[in-house]
Amino acid sequence: MDPHVSDYHKTMDTLNDYMDELKKSDEMDRNRLAEFKIKLRRYFNQSKALHKDKYYKDVLKMMSPGLQGEFSALLYKESFEAVYFFRPPKECDVNKRTLFISAVACKLQSASYPGLERIIFIGEQTCEPTSKMYIIRKGIIGCGGRLRRFGHCIGEDIILKHGTRRYMATTLSFVDTLTLTSRDLYDVLESSDDFKAQRKVVRRAAVRLAFRDTIRQVVRRIRAYKLTICRNKEERRKISININVEMLWNNKGVFAFDDPNKRLVTMETRDGRTVGLEQNDSNVQEAKEDADASDPIKAFAAVEVEDLSPMDALLFIQKWSKHCQTLVQGPASRTDTD
């Protein structure tokens, strides 16, 4: 009998023994226990691949680095293609690419989930060990109002070392995935100078992702606020945006909309009503001291946008590139320019 099959049968026998022990307890609801036993047996029956992957990974680790890379490229080809920042740059050497695939493959973990289980929660920090990227091998996941199937990937924001997840994901059927944490990914990228080209790819992807997420947050928060103060669409368009860009991040790298003490306020000007961030004198002084004289943001401190169209929002956020670095590398880190 194959070892993974033997492990599966041992797991099922242990489960049956455990359920029998619980059934003897007077405090246990036997009807609910019987229903849950069926649910558990269904899950373990569908999770047979977990036992196989355990032994396959042991065999993979016994191979030489070269063989590991070649075999991993064959084994995880479709999975790696689903992750856009795993794609090698044009100048990347084939051998270095093979080593990178091998190193990441050894960090991938198999994970299975039953239907209707939440796997990504709103407010998770991407640097947490529980925050993972999921490459779907089987099943359907609902994420961000879309269905994700075989070959899709969710949770790519693990490349942000200090990001906050503002979405959730739920399994809609039994799901089999390959998972990777932020720490494991950066352990691989920083383990060798051979991965320098791949680090640049991940770095660029992280910057783009930080821009996208920040745009969405600013647009969503300001549009929601404008909706609360004015129901008429045409009237809302007349309310301009006047925000001190330097105040969107403090000197510790905290995003203003993540600070419960910060809120949007309406201000009356000669040209009409505007929406801005509530500020105090100490925060203004802190921002001035933290700003660099050569920073282009300083010359563009007050941003006025008549309406938050996608292009306006893009131009708006491009002025914040320096501050978006904190989402990628953290407030105390220095990053290399590409």
Strand ranges across the sheet with 302-305: 264-269, 272-277, 240-244, 302-305
pLDDT in tens, the chain (338 residues): 677 788 888 888 998 898 888 888 877 888 888 888 888 999 988 888 888 887 887 888 888 877 887 787 788 777 888 898 998 887 778 888 888 888 898 898 999 999 999 999 998 988 888 899 999 999 999 998 899 999 899 999 999 887 889 899 999 999 999 999 999 999 999 998 989 889 989 988 887 787 777 777 777 777 777 777 777 777 777 777 666 555 566 555 566 666 666 677 777 777 777 777 776 544 444 444 444 333 333 323 333 333 344 444 455 555 554 444 444 444 444 344 33
What DSSP line would sit under 105-124, residue for residue? HHH-EEEEE-TT-EEE-TT-
pLDDT tens digits for range 175-196: 999 999 999 999 999 998 989 8
- pTM of the predicted structure, to 2 decimals: 0.73
In residues, how long is the chain? 338
Per the structure block, which two tokens stand in for 26? 């007077």
Q: Answer yes or no: are the C-beta atoms of 220 and 254 closer than 8 Å.
A: no
Positions of E strands within 167-263: 169-171, 175-181, 240-244
First and final CA of the chain: distance in angstroms? 54
pLDDT tens digits for range 281-332: 444 444 444 443 333 333 233 333 333 444 444 555 555 544 444 444 444 4
Q: Which residues contact 55 (CB under 8 A, 6 or more apart)?
A: 3, 4
